[in-house]
Amino acid sequence: MAPLKWTAAVLAFAAPVPISAQSTGPSSAGRPASTVATWRPYIREASRRFGVPVAWIERVMQAESRGRTVKGGRPIRSSAGAIGLMQVMPGTWSDMRARLGLGVDPDNPRDNILAGTFYLRLMYDRFGYPGLFAAYNAGPARYADYLAGRASLPRETVGYLASVAPDTQESDRVPATARVVEGLFAVRKIPASPPSDRLDAQPKGSLFVALSQEQ
């Protein structure tokens, strides 16, 4: 598993903050706003299914959409075209939809959360914590280039890491369930309970050869 290379800039933005001291703002990893809590039943379902902690899903949703499905009277989109609560890029949505058998509407809250959470799991299996969040934001190819010393992290990604992953010791909370089959993007085992243990599997280096840089 490739470790996250913390530069001075990243450390400045992402110093660990006690959970009790974190605020509820969009740039904080504290308790998400009430709009995110609205989707907690779907978030818990995704957490159980893919072995991603509820808190991680909620932090990503808070950073991406603040739990909103609509902005300006229209389905929420980023300037890059990212879709829905988890701000999944169209190409990634198509991949996740095919693997998970989701519906045709990427704005459907449940399906969007499942797709985004499964993608987070794939990023975790390749990059670990907190690298999964950098890959989710910048794309796995860009983050892999960063790890190899071929590129820098975008400033947006540095801030994103500070928002969703201030505690570099939190990887201990990730379970050893919900494995990903190399090259197939399919789940081999579905966990029966929320995540609690440490993931002990080694990453597959070629897992994302065919995956685009899209989130």
Q: How far apart are CA 104 and CA 111, in angstroms?
A: 9
Residue 7 C-beta-side C-alpha neighbours within 13 Å: 14
Do the beta carbons of residue 4 and residue 128 sit within 8 Å?
yes
Residue 88 CB neighbours (<10 A): 27
Respond yes or no: is residue 64 known to be catalytic.
yes
- pLDDT for res 170: 61
Q: Is the pTM of this model over 0.85?
A: no
The rounded average pLDDT for each run of 10 residues, N- to C-terminus, in the chain (215 residues) is 47 33 38 77 98 97 96 92 97 97 97 98 97 97 97 95 81 52 35 34 32 41
- pLDDT for res 74: 93
Residue 73 CB neighbours (<10 A): 5
- pLDDT for res 166: 81
What structural domains and CATH numbers belong to the chain? 35-166 (1.10.530.10)
Residue 57 CB neighbours (<10 A): 26
Exactly one of 58, 64, 182, 214 is catalytic; which is it? 64
| Beta-carbon contacts of residue 175 (< 8 Å; ≥ 6 apart) | 51, 191, 195, 196, 197, 198, 199
Angle of helix 109-127 relative to helix 131-138, nearest 10 degrees, comes to 120
17 dihedral zone (left: phi>0; alpha: psi -120 to 50; beta) = beta
